[in-house]
Amino acid sequence: MQERRFKDQIYEHVARIASAANSPRRLEMLEVLAQGPRTVEALANQAALSVANASRHLQVLRQAGLVEGRKQGLFVEYRLAELEVFDLVRLLRAIALRRLADVERLVRTYLGSRDELEPVGRKDLLERVCSGSVVVVDVRPAEEYRAAHIPGAVSVPLKDLPRRLRQLPVRKEIVAYCRGPYCLMAFDAVRLLRNRGRRARRLVDGFPEWRAAGLPVETGAASEP
């Protein structure tokens, strides 16, 4: 009986994690927080929620130990309780893609037509960064770049790309990356670059996956192309 009670209690606590992740909006919020800290207002805007609803979702995640809140001046910034929390999102996403036909069909239909060339793998990109044979462009918002980014990447938020295109070298291939495999910013950046005559591809996934793979990262202010 003691063993049964022990197992029941353990799995009850584990189930709290699963329950907290049982929401599309909360999974999206965890993926956004994998880019860097956010206020509840910023998360609400990103997830298309009211501030009140975003706050309720954050409380569920906080009670499950998945996020933490820290006072920063007049605001509270939320962040992942540990970087490994993103592994939960990544694993759920990968299993859904492999096991649920609807997910595979959505990805193939919606994203497959947007990418004419094979994406660049992480290890391939690291080698090319080290050799200086490629220009890596981070098209996420600048605050996400400052929180952490791929070494050597330049910050060119997607909204600024058209006016800053001339700052990018003409002869080198450009590899764009953003928040993850389902983030459209890198797709849009590659399309714009190709339409302007540049050789461009995207990273196969995004910055959180790069960091989760144990590859090197940098922090700090945006560098110029």
DSSP letters of 136-199? EEE-S-HHHHHH-B-TT-EE--GGGHHHHGGGS-SSSEEEEEES-TT-SHHHHHHHHHHHTT--
Can you tell me whether residue 205 is helix, strand or coil? Answer: strand
| Active-site annotation holds for 183 | no
Domains and CATH numbers, the chain: 2-86 (1.10.10.10), 112-212 (3.40.250.10)
Amino acid (one-letter) located at 8 = D
Q: Which helix (H) or strand (E) holds 70?
A: strand 67-72
* Catalytic-labelled residue, pool 54, 158, 176, 178: 178
Please report which confidence band the pLDDT of residue 222 belongs to, taking 50, 70 and 90 as the band edges.
low
Per-residue pLDDT tens over the stretch 195-215 = 999 999 999 999 999 999 999
Q: What integer is the mean pLDDT of 129-145?
A: 94
Percent of the chain with pLDDT over 70: 97
Rounded average pLDDT over 154-166: 96
Dist CA 222 CA 138 (whole Å): 10
Report the pLDDT averaged over residues 65-86. 93
Mean pLDDT (the chain) is 92
CA distance 181 to 8: 37
Average pLDDT of the segment spanning 172-184: 94
Q: How confident is the model at residue 223 (pLDDT cuts 50, 70, 90)?
A: low
CA–CA separation, 29 vs 140, rounded Å? 16
pTM comes to 0.87
% of the chain beyond a pLDDT of 90: 84
Residue 72: per-residue pLDDT: 84
